[in-house]
Amino acid sequence: MRTRVLTVLFACLVWTSVGCGKKEGGAAAGPGEPAHVDGTPHTDQVVNAWKGAGFPAEGFAAIDPTAYRAGYCSQGRVGGIDALICEYRDDDSIDRARKLIQDEWGKEGVHTGVALRSKRTLVAVADRGRSDPSGKTINKLLDTFKKL
Amino acid sequence: MRKGLAALVGIIALVSLTAAAEARSIRYHAQHPIPAKFGGGFCYITEPHVHAFGPSDPRLYRMHDEEYYFVGDPTPFGYDGPRYSYYGPHPVVDVGVEFGEPVYCYLDGPHYHWYQPVAQAQFEFRGGAYWYVGDYDPIYYRQRGRYVAINEAYRPVVWERPVVDVTVAPPAFHGVIVAGPGVHGHAVVAAPAFSAGVHVAVPPPPSVHVGVGVGVGGPVVVGHEHVIVAEPPPRTVIIREHHDNGRHEGWYKHGKH
């Protein structure tokens, strides 16, 4: 019984140490972990701007940026809409990623999707649940992002 | 049995293909109406975006770089954002929208757009609307036959058009105003090819419309409190190609009798 409890505690410790590094706005990236890209709005800045504008943001966490040819990526939901934020080091990668994302939306049949860049940060929002039929929320999210 | 299996495989393949064909993204450049079967109303996204549905009526759009750009009056679709009044055909002067060539709105008479003319565009604001007072690019005439169909798309639609006082139309306006009860504000802009000829318009029988909004060829919206047009001519109206510099020698002259 005691061994079992110790094992669970150890597992929790490991999970916490790994999980913390992945949390949005957490400590500096460790070796091998993606780092934020300088000279462009960071993912946590975008999320904080959305929160500051009154949009509930939830579940934002860093994801593997290589899937989107980015230097750093974060994914979550804001105002009931799926959002992906990625930081890039070059324009070509942004263009390719945008195409990739739009192709994915096409295959998936996403109801509404917008991929917008500001400097070298790309925001891709997808309204899969039709929670924003008029697009007004999406437009405000984009306006907030463009001001960064 | 074998035949049935083959048929089943065929059906599955067909269904898969259909699903793949339907799972597509349609690109829009900016705001636009939403087709009724997808909920109706208006999409207010001002940035290029995609939807899983196409436009309900392509006559209301212009295609550029594989993106649909809505060129119509957004009012009938429940649009509640900022809007500006225009009279007659004019270049599309939406800030940040570049088509690579002049693109024109071919809507007749008074109508709204969500954009205000950019400062350098040749518009004059008179009588409650922006009037285009510049020259039309040859492309305007070349494409008119194709895009003037937008007026047909709006004909069955009932909506509140802007109230425009056509009696103060700018002298530099290239079109000729044909406005009066029954016609309710109609601008005709002739192509250079017709410059030596005349246009003959036959308005409907005269009638009195006091406190009536302006509508073109469609149902009239009632609710405004002032008369904005003069009496119509008794029958035929002869319209000259160019504006008569404020003398209004067409129907308007008759209307003042």
pLDDT single digits (tens) A67-89: 999 999 999 999 999 999 999 99
Same domain, A86 and A16: no
CA B50, CA B26: separation in Å to the nearest integer? 5
Which of B94, B81, B111 shows the shortest CA–CA distance to B29?
B94
> Each residue's pLDDT tens digit in chain B (257 positions)?
455 555 554 554 444 444 444 557 999 999 999 999 999 999 999 999 999 999 999 999 999 999 999 999 999 999 999 999 999 999 999 987 888 899 999 999 999 999 999 888 999 999 999 999 999 999 999 999 999 999 999 999 888 999 999 989 999 998 657 554 434 444 444 333 322 222 323 333 322 222 233 334 333 332 232 323 333 333 333 333 333 333 333 222 232 32
Task: Note the pLDDT of residue A34.
Answer: 87
Which of B134, B191, B186, B182 shows the shortest CA–CA distance to B164?
B186
**Distance from the Cα of residue B214 to its chain's centroid:** 14
Same domain, A18 and A55: no
Same domain, A24 and A62: no
Phi, psi of B144 (to 5 degrees): -60, -45
CA distances from B237 to A121, B184, B191 (A): 60, 14, 19
The token pair at B167 is: 């009696």
Contact A130 B51 (CB under 8 A): no
CA A121, CA B64: separation in Å to the nearest integer? 26
Same domain, A25 and A55: no
Contact B50 A107 (CB under 8 A): no
- Evaluate whether ipTM surpasses 0.90: no
pLDDT above 50 for A20: no
Percent of chain A with pLDDT over 70: 79
The alpha carbon torsion through A114, A118, A122, A128 (nearest 10 deg) reads: -20
Number of domains in chain A: 2
Residues of chain B positioned with their CB less than 8 A from the CB of A114: 45, 47-50
- Chain A interface test: which of B22, B24, B46, B49 (most A C-beta within 10 Å): B49
Chain A residue with minimum CA distance to B54: A111
CA B135, CA B220: separation in Å to the nearest integer? 31
pLDDT above 70 for A9: no
CA B159, CA A16: separation in Å to the nearest integer? 60
Note the pLDDT tens digit of each residue in A114-143.
Answer: 999 999 999 999 999 999 999 999 999 999
Contact A108 B47 (CB under 8 A): no
Task: Note the pLDDT of residue B95.
Answer: 85
Q: Could you say which of A102, A116, A142 has the minimum Cβ distance to residue B25? A: A102
Q: What is the distance in angstroms between the Cα of B30 and the nearest Cα belonging to chain A?
A: 10
Q: What is the distance in angstroms between the Cα of A79 and the nearest Cα belonging to chain B?
A: 15
Residue pair B239/B176 in contact by the 8 Å Cβ criterion: yes
- Chain A interface test: which of B22, B47, B80, B114 (most A C-beta within 10 Å): B47
Same domain, A20 and A84: no
CA B87, CA B177: separation in Å to the nearest integer? 10
Same domain, A73 and A116: yes
The alpha carbon torsion through B9, B11, B12, B14 (nearest 10 deg) reads: 120
Same domain, A6 and A54: no
CATH number at residue A130: 3.40.1720
Burial class (CB in 10 A: 0-12, 13-18, 19+), A145: buried
CA B112, CA B132: separation in Å to the nearest integer? 14
CA B116, CA B92: separation in Å to the nearest integer? 10
Helix A136-146 vs helix A43-52: crossing angle, to nearest 10: 120
Same domain, A61 and A87: yes
Task: Note the pLDDT of residue B60.
Answer: 97
Query: Within a domain: residue A35?
Result: no
Same domain, A108 and A64: yes
Q: Name the 3-class secondary structure at B151.
A: helix
The token pair at B212 is: 């009536």
Q: Which residue has the tokens 């324009």?
A: A91
- Residue A95 domain boundaries: 43-146
Q: Count other C-beta atoms under 10 Å from residue A43's C-beta.
A: 29
Query: Within a domain: residue A23?
Result: yes
For residue A23, give the DSSP letter: B
Query: Within a domain: residue A34?
Result: no
Same domain, A24 and A70: no
> What contacts B67, CB < 8 A, 6 or more positions away?
B27, B28, B29, B48
Q: What is the distance in angstroms between the Cα of A1 and the nearest Cα belonging to chain B?
A: 54
Same domain, A56 and A93: yes
Helix H or strand E encompassing B210? none
